[in-house]
Chains A and B, each alone.
Chain A
Amino acid sequence: MFNYTFHWRPAFNALPRMFEGALVSLQIAVLSLVIGTAIAVVLALGRRSDNRLFYGFATGWVELARNTPALFQVYMTYFGLGSLGIHLDSYASLLVGISFNNAGYLAESFRGGLNAIPETQTRAARSLGMGATQAFRLVVLPQMFRIVFYPLTNQMVWALLMTSLGVTVGLNTDLTGVTQELNVRTFRTFEYFLFAAVIYYLMAKFITLSARLLAWRLFRY
């Protein structure tokens, strides 16, 4: 450690490549959040359902996603599915793994959010002639998103940080993957990973701040 000499120039030269990697990380995080959110709505309904099959499926998903390491979940979509004959590339299996994790965590937030909305809201909507799906989509869901907005923001940050697991399934285009490749070639470990950490930090802050702005724009009531 003490006879390590810092060489910042190569790290600075590598910044454009790292930024490209950061965009890939951000892209995976955003996509996984969108997919995870859509699935979480269905799982939350399953957790409230009287249908035992639907309830069991949703509960199983939530339990697995919340009580096993995210690394294991990403591994399973790459190697696990692979041994079942479903071969996803590194990018896809990371995306699927994180979406799986997001869906499990968000489902529990969403369930809580749905429980907080009085049944009378649905009744009022139905009595105006809306179908069950319409009432859910137009009246219940928008109110739920306000309640779960902060957990949703946290999950987005968490998803971004989880993208760094891609390196374990051979992803080399995201920020960690790019950094790792640079590192292997040059062994400027400290410089590169410090830069990567700063970029992750700034992206996480960016997400939190833009979420706050968005909430301020969206939830005027």
Chain B
Amino acid sequence: MIEIENVRKSFGPLEVLKGVSLAVQKGEVLSIIGGSGSGKSTLLMCINGLEPIQGGRILVDGTDVHAPGTDLNRLRRRIGIVFQQWNAFPHLTVLENVMLAPRKVLGKGRREAEEIAAKNLRHVGLGEKLSVYPSKLSGGQQQRMAIARALAMSPDYMLFDEVTSALDPQLVGEVLDTLRMLSDEGMTMILVTHEIRFARDVSDRVAFFHKGVIHEIGPAREVIGNPQMPETIDFLKSVL
């Protein structure tokens, strides 16, 4: 379970998260929607400790992410994150991209890491591309590779930050299909997305982020089909 309690986060004088509270249960899929600059990416990076916070706390299965003694490298093994820009490691083949962390972080042997990587790449439909360099892949394929790279660590949680936003429209579908598959398999996910219909169909709950706080949260169909707050209504009008 991920518990976010009254989290505050600033970049210099700019307060980006102004007291965010949220709990995500094991097996749940939560989508976060909201205008750009509202702090969605920042929240995800606070969850796995890539960004420090100035107030509140975040617990992942009871571990306080921002406590001084927390081993973040160890914690991050359990939390996969995929970014809008897929960040393939260009100097490694697709297989090597996915093997790297199992080998160097989990200490698996070459053979085992290869098997893990190949299995996860087949799972996202890249079984034919193992020995290719990322530069030879389309954006959608690179993004699926990034998903496989995170999955190869067998994380308990997956965070997705607008993973389809940088893709050409015709490539969005294949990545959304991969996300849907993960959700069907019971993966616990927090999904920042602009794909409102997809969010409605695939998530259990939707949170609307506005000016650094969660402005409205509830079951996906209700928040998207029947929003209560005027800001949510305005936002949905602008994107649907």
Contacts and interface: CB of A to CB of B under 8 A. Distances in A.
A221 B104 contact: no
What size tier do the contact residues of chain B reach? 20 to 34
B89 A124 contact: yes
A126 interface: yes
Interface string A189-221: 000000000000000000000000000000111
B236 interface: no
B153 A221 contact: no
Question: In the complex, which of the residues A124, A126, A134, A146 has the most CB atoms of chain B within 10 Å of its own CB atom?
Answer: A124
B87 A124 contact: yes
A34 interface: no
Contacts, number: 63
Given A128-B101, A128-B150, A121 B76 contact: no
B50 A126 contact: yes
A143 B90 contact: yes
Interface string B102-113: 001110000000
Contact of A121 (B87, B105, B153): B87
B91 A134 contact: no
B90 A221 contact: yes
Question: In the complex, which of the residues A125, A128, A143, A221 has the most CB atoms of chain B within 10 Å of its own CB atom?
Answer: A128
A134 B104 contact: yes
A138 B104 contact: yes
A171 to B, nearest CB: 39
B135 interface: yes
B175 interface: no
A56 interface: no
Interface of B: 48, 50, 73-74, 76-77, 79-81, 83, 85, 87, 89-92, 100-101, 104-106, 133-135, 146, 149-150, 153
Interface of A: 120-121, 123-131, 134, 138-139, 142-143, 146, 219-221
